[in-house]
Every structure is written in C-alpha cells, then in structure tokens.
Amino acid sequence: MGNKILVFGGKGQLGQCLRSVSKNDDLVFFSSAEANICNKEQIESLFNKYKPEVIINCAAYTAVDKAEDEAAVATALNTTGPALLAELCRQFDVLIIHISTDFVFEGTITGLLNEDEVTKPTGIYGKTKLDGERAIQEVWNKHIIIRTSWLYSEYANNFVKTMLRLAQDRDELNIVADQVGTPTYAMDLASAILAIIDNTDHKYGLYHYSNEGVASWYDFAHAIFELSNKKLHLKPIKTIDFPTKARRPAYSVLDKTKIKKQFQLSIPHWRESLKVCLIRLNELGR
C-alpha cells in the first residue's frame, strides 16, 4: 500500500474491524461525524489533504425497518453520498471500494446468487443501496463494489451480540427459520478488503463476499448458543410470525466464485469464524 487509504464510516462495525486487522499506518479513519460523505466540500478537503490512492466507503444507513419511514435520510447516505464519493474519486483518480448488501435481491430465487443475478429490492434500504451501486458504476470505472450479508463482529450492534445479551435473562427465544443466507464475520471481510488493495492487478467491478456455508437465522442462533455453551430453548418460527416493517430476502446465499478466483481469497466457513468471534467476545468480556 503506497499512499493514504481513507476509510469513511470508520466508527461502524466494518470500519472498526478494518482498524483492528490493519497493520498499516496508511489507513486513515473518519467517523460519520468527522466526515459526512454527503458534504462535498468537507470530503474534497480530505482528498486534497491526504492525496489518497484508495478510499473505502463503509458509511451507510443500515436501519432496515427505520428506512421505511426515513427514506430521505437513507437515500442521502446510501445513494447520494456514494455518488459524490465516486465523483471525487474520478476527479482525483482514486480507487473506490464500496460495501453493498444482499438486500438488493428479492430473495425468491434459491441457489447461489452471482453478480449478474437480477436485482429486485423489496424495501427502501435495499433500493437505496442498489441505487448507490449504480451511481458509482455510472460515474467512475475504478470501483470495486462488494455485496455482503449478515455482518457480525465484536463491534457495534449485531445478531451475535444481541443473542448473547438476550441469553442473560431469557431461557427461551423465538427465531426466524425461513430466511436463509450466510453469516459473515466482519473481520474476515475486512481482511479480504485489505488483500484486494494489496493485489496490484485490480480488476474493477462488482463482487460478492460472505463466509462459506448456508444457514437460517435459527441455525445461526443455535450455533451461537451451542458454541458458547449456553442452554436456551430455541423455537423456530416463520417470517409471517415475526412481522417487520421491511420485508427481508427469504433466500440470499451469495456466490463467491468471482472474488475468490480474481483475488486468490480463501474464505472460512461461517461456523469456524463464529468460533473465533465468540472467543474474542469472551476475552473482551462482552
């Protein structure tokens, strides 16, 4: 890595994981409070100051249900901001690495979803993220867009930490069993992003990344408690029994063939990475 690499959304889950796995002083992290990706003057001043070679955009509006009521805010962070970053990257000749989501899919197709699969988001969150992808693609060719799914880690709020918290005062939980995807350890994704940057042969474009394997939320919760030796009774329920404002994809297992082949990545199975995360959470006392 040569010049500075600017990370936007540095206080979020993936931003904190990038900070944790990086052994490189060239990464400069900005929280959303320190660098608003919708503020062109503010971001342009950072480009002028640091002369980055790469930027990583982890900033996003990720409150899936709240987005249904806050479409303008979600659009600003997930579509307008990424478009602005892409414009500045074109102006300064900078590679943009942007993180997207499996929510761009409707989730009705069972089978591994590759990058060419038809997109059809069912809610505001997925729609604004897809619009953000398209805005970047239209503005600047030096982009790497990575769709991922079911992110968790030691940091921020996520499913693993929520399950462990609920286990402290519950002995029974209802968990949705008919939504299928792949849990993704954000530390693994962070390591993959840094490996991609280190790869001198940047093949620009759209990629999918998650851990290997397939699970329902019920399977995921079961593994969390099994591996952390917690005794809870889990009751599998249907999505219809747990209504949410935004509809989730019923099936969104991503095909990682392209990213593995292009960047020679070895991706762990989700259960193996979950073990690592649970050990680290235990060491941190979380």
152 in catalytic set:
no
C-alpha triplet 179, 56, 112: angle, nearest 5°: 30
- Tell me the three state secondary structure of residue 94: coil
Beta bridge partners, 251, equal: 180
Q: Is 93 left (phi over 0), alpha (psi -120 to 50) or beta?
A: left
For residue 76, give the DSSP letter.
Answer: I
User: Which residue, among 57, 59, 47, has the nearest Cα to 93 in the 3D structure?
Assistant: 47
Q: Which run of H or of E encompasses 184?
A: strand 184-185
Q: How far is CA 248 from CA 156, 181, 252, 260, in A?
A: 21, 11, 9, 27
Helices 270-284 and 159-166, packing angle to 10 deg: 60
Q: Which of 50, 61, 125, 251 is catalytic?
A: 125
Q: How far apart are CA 78 and CA 137, in angstroms?
A: 14
Beta bridge partners, 39, equal: none
User: Which residue, among 43, 145, 65, 164, has the nearest Cα to 99 in the 3D structure?
Assistant: 145
Q: How far is CA 116 from CA 39, 81, 206, in A?
A: 32, 24, 9
The catalytic site residues sit at 125
